Amino acid sequence: MSRIESTFAKLKAEKRRALVIFLTAGDPDIETTVRLVLAAKKAGADIVELGVPFSDPLADGPVIQESFHRAIKRGASLTKVLAAVKKIREQTDVPLVFMLASTLIINHGVNKFMRQCAEAGVDGIIIPDAPLEEIDEFAPSAKDHGLDIIMLAAPTSPSQRLKQIAARSSGFVYYISVAGVTGNKLASATEAGKGIKALKKTTRLPVCAGFGVTGPEQARQMSAVADGVIIGSQAVRVINSAGSPEQAVRELSKFVSSVRRAMDKK
């Protein structure tokens, strides 16, 4: 059983929902990213998603785009992010999921990338710009190296496509709770619930809702309809508004704790 599978199994037994926190690797710097992951886990995050910076992040809104640009300016690279994962793995077994552009994987070499991810301790991969029709370029190698491929399901996807997306996913399915890029609109649990219900008819995998989830109350509402809640842009905002790396770690801890408490309310 993978770390992602065992995390969801444990949460299911406890009748709790997963809190997935997205962080941009390298923002404000690589060393602080390691501390932020550890702080997020300690504060209640069940899974941490690491965005690997890319100059043209298509699915991301301005908040995450700007954080990617800051990270690149400060020297973040795939090699450095993999090294950071190794440091994280020395201190915690929290599941780690990479979100990155297909170009980064192809330029690195698909098999080499998957092998190095597995060796470093990455658990899953999200490739937002790789549609269903192109995922076979990556999925076999990921499977060979024990990595989950987490597919994105959109609210506009017809039922047959949802079924195909679910069939190609492992670990969990990422349900996009609002159409568009990240961080631009607030998600509605009522609306997302309809799409998640349709998706869950096609798969036994957990379904996590992301895009447009910004705070504790919204996360609590979304956790009533999904197996997990993903928060990205707001976590990045919290980090960027801090005056120092130390403050960023403190503020992220407070934010994650507040979301976790809200999600755990009966």
Query: Which residues carry out catalysis?
Result: 49, 60
CB distance 62 to 45 below 8 Å: no
* Angle ∠(93,99,103) on CA atoms, nearest 5: 135
Quick one: angle between helices 78-89 and 30-43, nearest 10?
40
> Which one-letter amino acid corresponds to residue 171?
G
Task: At 213, list the tokens.
Answer: 């989830």
Task: Please give the biggest Cα pair distance in the chain.
Answer: 48
Helices (H), ranges, the chain: 3-14, 30-43, 62-73, 78-89, 102-108, 110-120, 139-144, 159-168, 189-200, 216-223, 233-240, 245-264
